[in-house]
Structure 1
């Protein structure tokens, strides 16, 4: 989206060129190809500049640099390591690895031939994950220039000839006026939440918030926070390659956790929820075409532990509440003790229990100040019996 807007704005302004400052560890396959297609279809020459010093163009960054009309790097930068990996950096199975690797090699060699760059090195970057410095890249015809800053780059590329979709163009960039296109606030927020790790955390917070609200109707705040996080997570997942089977497993885990709170299963339902949630999390982001990046295990494991720990705690608290002696209503009064305040007999009397006076009856006469125990409750009338305790006291 940001690249698309930048190219569109550059074309409207009739810019001499668009410089993309690149610093990336990689990205998703679909997003990478969309950016490459935008660059190839641009009327304005696109210069990819790996900067500032210390930056890198790894994985998807290699493809973007190869697609650019001109590729340049700042000192102390590197490029390479474009071998396909699974979600979170994990290795993928050999058959799938061969497919995505061959596909990636074919694409980057096509870009190399189009831009006159080193196709052999590009293939090694994909197959062997080789990585080189800026001066090695310049010597091996991987990039076109090494420039310490933007002004130097614009001077170096002045009068270079490039091929765009509209034909051959000669760049006039020396002493050119530059206009920086900052990433807007909305784009910054979208850039953050579309990170698979952030989207996953938002999903977990959203589900916990909704659960809190359902468990405690009227709390409001957990429901509001949970709803916002869940909607943001759904938006993020809409632009990520989501495995719907994994999403179903996560949904099943929530159902199992809720049942664990309500049903005594001795941990079977909760254990199934843990397994379902973990497997679903590992499978959630599914970029099999070129799996550069997914949800990191360093995010999944703590989230699963916290998430399942919360539900097991909720189940424990629920079980302890169910086992606790009833302290309210008729059932809560049975067995309670107090003091007879008047003579209590078949015709009635008054007793004092839990700070309250009650009308009471007894099968036998009970003298005032005798300790009594409630044996039955009939509406607002309690039936009592004396406690054989030689110690009598007043309240």
Structure 2
């Protein structure tokens, strides 16, 4: 009987552990601009939650949002995965003063349950076409019918409006305000959003949110069920090393600085071949930057202007033009840097202080480093066999076909195009191995 009780106690512990595992809640921290790194982090985490190989399959996933927006393709990939999820996903704008702007608004509309903390906001979801010539960049001007004659712009705005209205209909939320957020860039606070049926819950923190969600009815794949969040275990899901690496190299400013370091490293290596350290570092920086640019909307005209600018500044060193080439190169570098990232999203723009600092430091680097390198090559040789050119030697002896001359205290074999006798003064014109080619000096 005693052994039976022990077995029953162990089974109870195992069952308790198993039942608690069914009430795990995963929290994903979606902070900052939404790009490829964020998309991979969110999508892979949701995939893991649905995987049979996952050691823990959560009852609920919470996307903790604080984002200014991001790239359209990344946003749509996240939403697509949310809509296909069999696990309830809660969008939660948190902490206070956080926001779900632009792409964040679409993601919040797509989640099964939308929640916000007090003193947060959402909205400003007007899309801006990347690289669209002649399209107004200000959202109000862009959707103003009197100023918008571009058919492509209207297509983009109409598509975004229909997209967010479809999400609103799917989740039973306010579709009129959703359209207004796209068409006029409207924003709204958490309190007003709750009253306008844009979100479902206002919660102070995660504990408050989970308390309100316990027993909350949610519809998954057309089936309604109540959330059971008793005895929950909160699991914070962090990005893996690859996603963190993507987040770093995908930062436009970081990739921009890397590509410049790489270019200068290769130029310095080719200008002054040595141990290959500068060339190797340059190649690694360029390849890493190109990997970062792969996940960013790059304008290759901007990249070409950057390369042209650097080339012109180097040309200024080797072909002095009173600073004209250098100034044009600096202007080209700044222009290329401004248009390098082909999106008007502020979160993906290269900061102006970085652009100006790079332009000024590039000018200084080129003029100082390559200037000193160029001058060093123009200086008279003070060592080596080349220093003998133009020196005067005296013929010391002639034995058959071998003529010897004394130069700087050493005997050298010499050749001349005219007969020589001991005592003649000659000038070294060239050197062929260990033989001096000389010219006989005229006697005065």
For 1:329 and 1:335, how far apart are their aligned partners in 2? 14
**Higher mean C-alpha displacement, 200-209 vs 74-83:** 74-83
1:193, 1:232 within 8 Å by CA — same for their partners in 2? yes
Aligned alpha-carbon RMSD (Å)? 4.0
For 1:144 and 1:261, how far apart are their aligned partners in 2? 65
Once the two structures are superposed, the pairs formed by residues 216-255 of structure 1 within 5 Å of their partners are 216-255=272-311
Partner of 1:136: helix, strand, or coil? helix
Q: CA deviation at 1:6?
A: 1.4
**Closer/same/farther in 2, CA of residues 244 and 17 from structure 1, 3 Å limit:** same
Q: CA deviation at 1:272?
A: 4.7
**Closer/same/farther in 2, CA of residues 310 and 174 from structure 1, 3 Å limit:** same
Match of 1:4 in 2: 43
Partner of 1:173: helix, strand, or coil? coil
Deviations 1:292-335 (A, max 9, x none): 73333333332233234322334433443355444446775679
Match of 2:338 in 1: 282
**Higher mean C-alpha displacement, 221-230 vs 25-34:** 221-230
**Closer/same/farther in 2, CA of residues 104 and 299 from structure 1, 3 Å limit:** farther
1:330, 1:377 within 8 Å by CA — same for their partners in 2? no
**Closer/same/farther in 2, CA of residues 345 and 304 from structure 1, 3 Å limit:** closer
For 2:273 and 2:105, how far apart are their aligned partners in 1? 52
Partner of 2:337: helix, strand, or coil? helix
**Closer/same/farther in 2, CA of residues 308 and 161 from structure 1, 3 Å limit:** farther
Q: CA deviation at 1:3?
A: 0.8
**Closer/same/farther in 2, CA of residues 327 and 178 from structure 1, 3 Å limit:** same
Deviations 1:154-197 (A, max 9, x none): 22122333333464343222443332212223322221221222
Give the aligned length: 366
TM-score by length of 2: 0.68
Which ranges in structure 1 are unaligned for 5 or more consecutive residues?
338-343, 366-373, 386-395
Q: CA deviation at 1:24?
A: 1.2
Match of 1:73 among 108, 116, 124: 116
1:17, 1:46 within 8 Å by CA — same for their partners in 2? yes
Match of 2:204 among 141, 144, 148: 148
* 1:305 counterpart = 2:360: yes
Match of 2:348 among 293, 308, 314: 293
Once the two structures are superposed, the pairs formed by residues 23-172 of structure 1 within 5 Å of their partners are 23-84=66-127, 92=137, 94=142, 95=150, 100-165=156-221, 167-172=223-228
2:389, 2:430 within 8 Å by CA — same for their partners in 1? no
TM-score by length of 1: 0.76
**Higher mean C-alpha displacement, 29-38 vs 131-140:** 131-140
Q: CA deviation at 1:345?
A: 7.9
**Closer/same/farther in 2, CA of residues 306 and 317 from structure 1, 3 Å limit:** same
1:40, 1:165 within 8 Å by CA — same for their partners in 2? no
For 1:121 and 1:237, how far apart are their aligned partners in 2? 36
Which ranges in structure 2 are unaligned for 5 or more consecutive residues?
1-39, 143-149, 398-404, 413-422
For 2:154 and 2:379, how far apart are their aligned partners in 1? 60
Match of 1:370 in 2: none
Partner of 2:122: helix, strand, or coil? strand
For 1:210 and 1:319, how far apart are their aligned partners in 2? 17
1:260, 1:315 within 8 Å by CA — same for their partners in 2? no
2:258, 2:289 within 8 Å by CA — same for their partners in 1? yes
Once the two structures are superposed, the pairs formed by residues 263-278 of structure 1 within 5 Å of their partners are 263-264=319-320, 267=323, 269-278=325-334
